[in-house]
Amino acid sequence: MSAESAKPISYRDAGVDIDQAARSLGAIAGFARATATAGTAGEIGHFGGIFRLPAGEDRLLIASADGIGTKIKLAFAIGGWAHKRVGGDLVNHCVNDILACGARPLFFLDYVAMGKIDSEALEGLVEGMAAACGVNGAALIGGETAEMPGLYAPGEYDAAGFIVGEVSPSAFIDGSRIEPDDLLIGLPSAGLHTNGFSLARMIVGATGGTSQDREVLAHPLPGGDGETIGEALLAPHLTYFPQVYPLVEQGIILGIAHITGGGLIDNLPRMLPDGVVVRLDQSTWTVNPIFRYLVETGNVEPREQYRTFNMGIGMVLAVRPGDAQTVRNAIPDARVIGEIVAGSSEQKVMIEQTIGGTVS
């Protein structure tokens, strides 16, 4: 596909309509609100659900559930090590979500569904989950394995993860203390993590049968460092817990955004209080070769890039200017990528110096 002549490809073209999903989530949120009990705390829409334990327990439980998206289709094609990789991705995604609330993980459960039990795939998945739980200090306490003939094609499966963590009310992070002139620190991603794969697979042509996808994924990544397209796409979803949680304990982190579905454009506003907006400078961080390949090959427009992919930033921390160096000392590859400015614009995120132009 020629970037010069091809029609721009969007996430919607690949079958994912973020706007429709947001409308649907808004419509069903009321059903969840109607179930609120005495322990329910916080609004729906934060990175984790919040539950307050009974009086005398000085802590909040933070819970989250997520999946691996269509990255899992690549694991079907490649097999072997890829099953373990996406198992770890599932745990790390969930851990990062509750970390955005300042929580440390307590325990994790999984759900795996297959048309017919594939021992190699199942063992690889759970091995990957267990390894990631070990790194993050979470206990894998159980799960459900469902065998459902006729629902999943041979060799295919789906998996979801459920995590519960804890945080004291005084340490809970919701971004409410963020104010103008605070700095935004970006933590590099390893690649797509677990979002944007429907579009990525469409761009690279990995949307056919397993053998066809395997052939496409075996090609060298243009502009890469010797890795294949498949290896670049299956780069792990990093956990930021070991690096970030000690800073959370110091009390210097004002807000955290885990950059997942919706990219920087939709996830940064989730940590912002009213009256402020974000200004980012893309030239301050490195965009991974896989993203450059995808946006150039797919002729993906700037706003679509930063609303579909993480574009090289997996997590963003908001801090006071005087605390930025402390964060950088603790996390050497962290970069100051932007700032908080006063404003009430409907567009909460402006990104300068992007591939293709400014996004606002």
pLDDT tier at 14 (50, 70, 90 boundaries)? low
Query: For residue range 17-56, what is the model confidence (pLDDT) as tens digits?
Result: 666 656 766 666 676 677 666 666 666 556 677 877 776 5
pLDDT at 57 exceeding the cut of 90: no
The full set of domains in the chain, from first to last, is: 36-171 (3.30.1330.10), 183-352 (3.90.650.10)
Higher pLDDT, 22 or 154: 154
Q: Do 90 and 129 meet the contact criterion of CB atoms below 8 Å apart?
A: yes
pLDDT at 342 exceeding the cut of 50: yes
Query: For residue range 200-243, what is the model confidence (pLDDT) as tens digits?
Result: 999 999 987 778 899 999 999 999 999 999 999 999 999 999 99
Higher pLDDT, 337 or 354: 337
The pTM assigned to this predicted structure is 0.89
pLDDT tier at 4 (50, 70, 90 boundaries)? very low
**Rg over CA atoms, the chain:** 20
pLDDT at residue 101, as a whole number? 97
pLDDT tier at 346 (50, 70, 90 boundaries)? confident
How much is the average pLDDT of 7-15?
69
Distance spanning both ends of the chain, measured CA to CA: 28
pLDDT at residue 78, as a whole number? 94
How much is the average pLDDT of 3-16?
62
Q: What is the dihedral of CA 125, 16, 93, 34, to 10 degrees?
A: -110
Strands (E), 94-222: 104-114, 139-147, 157-167, 183-188
Task: Kindly state the greatest CA–CA separation across the chain.
Answer: 65
Higher pLDDT, 181 or 34: 181
Q: What is the DSSP string of 76-127?
A: HHH-THHHHHHHHHHHHHHHHHHHTTTPEEEEEEEEEEESS--HHHHHHHHH
pLDDT at residue 217, as a whole number? 95
Average pLDDT over the chain, rounded to an integer: 90
Give how far Cα 191 sits from Cα of 58, 180, 228, Å.
38, 30, 13
Rounded Cα–Cα distance for residues 91 and 352 (Å): 33
Neighbour order of strands in the sheet with 60-67: 40-41, 49-52, 60-67, 157-167, 104-114, 139-147
Residue 20 has which token pair?
């429709």
Percent of the chain with pLDDT over 70: 86
pLDDT at residue 147, as a whole number? 94
The helix-helix angle for 81-99 and 71-78 (nearest 10°) equals 160
How much is the average pLDDT of 289-293?
98
pLDDT at 93 exceeding the cut of 60: yes
pLDDT at residue 45, as a whole number? 57
How much is the average pLDDT of 252-272?
97
pLDDT at residue 11, as a whole number? 63
